[in-house]
Structure 1
């Protein structure tokens, strides 16, 4: 198992501090939330991108993913969606990140109509992704929250540079059993996002192992070298505890479930 955490849990923290925190707490990687209010965005210049690479290399920490917010099942023109994904792919390529995260983002649209758009867009974007050596991962989220729903998009895409990101919260909220989600996503899986919450009605982030998510069931049977990333949504829940002090106990909890990291 290799372990990362998302900068969603340390909003606005300078990259050098993020890299040092990961190394100090025994994490091998970091997911970079990519938005205008974060240290990393698609507007980042070449010099700043090179500096970020040096800071993470100095700490011995990998940049696992560039996490954008493009909705591939959203209503609108393909050109705009593909431009956004292209910018994320170029950023990931410059940073040496193997993955770009996108959302379904279909909103209230018919999931089948949104899914058809997503298949077409991901198929086109996957060709660009192949050219820069990056894989686009569609997260189990919003309009397509389950492994079954995401697999119905990725199956027809049929491209190795388009895969899945299993956020374990959303299939659980939708009533999909962990074994079913894992089986549906297995042919496409890039990595897994873990988290914990108090209940289906209270999604305030909690330290791993102290909430109600069936994490042991979710992580059972994963490949020994799989990446797990702790997405602690401090950005959206300012009342939640600070993440840095939770990282080492979180790593120890995951080691208890999956074995040593590294």
Structure 2
């Protein structure tokens, strides 16, 4: 694939993809895709119909974790659909359950969303519930990552929650599209998230009002500027392609998107 040999050394071993781009494929195919594309990490979407789901038995989770370890691929993140500030349900219990899933897999992170669009002031509920979870998992192997998404689309909103929670057990996931589409520049987003940033998802889309995926480097997301800001932060954690083919089945296959992703990284390196 284009760019493989010129990807920066720090990125070459820290490239990942989300199984949102290969939804419902068995673990063996996911690992083969990782091997074929040179990715050493995978975000595992945790949902019904996926190899990892909220009701997957513990023994099966451990077996999946072993397969990843044997293949030399890290299951970096359990991508949960918990909405920590949701006005209904029991988000704390749900999130703690997903932390247990991550522990069985050997994953370092659990992704969590904010709330439901239109709900009034989700901030207090997010702080209270994430604080409760943090007290129960602090010192353990799993960190909860609040994503820039839904009611916390902006980096400033996520940073405000994390500053108030004040625990190393809860950190930030920068979905690069959402702060950009609500008007934050890459620099503003990077500056806001810097103290808590643990994981980054990159993708490209047609426009702020048209989120259909396009091959990285062929859309309007300022990926080069985002990478420059990450360089400025001396960011050395995972860069993950979130290819939303589950929602947009007409999008090109994930391996094609990963090739374009690597080309973007190579072009960024060449421009430095």
Residues 1-262 of structure 1 correspond to what in structure 2 (within 5 A)? 1=11, 2-76=14-88, 80-111=90-121, 114-130=122-138, 132-222=140-230, 223-257=234-268
SS in 2 for 1:13: coil
Alpha-carbon distance between aligned partners in 2 of 1:35 and 1:131, rounded to the nearest angstrom: 27
Query: Given the two structures, how large is their TM-score scaled by the length of structure 2?
Result: 0.90
Contact 1:164 1:190 in 2 (8 A): yes
Alpha-carbon distance between aligned partners in 2 of 1:134 and 1:189, rounded to the nearest angstrom: 15
Query: Given the two structures, how large is their TM-score scaled by the length of structure 1?
Result: 0.93
Shift of residue 35, structure 1, vs aligned partner:
0.4
Contact 1:219 1:258 in 2 (8 A): no
Unaligned runs of 5+ in 1: none
Contact 2:26 2:51 in 1 (8 A): yes
1:104-130 per-residue CA deviation (whole Å, 9 max, x = no partner) reads: 12421223xx10010000011112332
SS in 1 for 2:138: helix
Alpha-carbon distance between aligned partners in 1 of 2:94 and 2:33, rounded to the nearest angstrom: 30
Alpha-carbon distance between aligned partners in 1 of 2:247 and 2:235, rounded to the nearest angstrom: 32
Closer/same/farther in 2, CA of residues 138 and 62 from structure 1, 3 Å limit: same
Contact 1:93 1:132 in 2 (8 A): no
Please give the root-mean-square deviation of Cα atoms over the aligned residues, in Å: 1.5
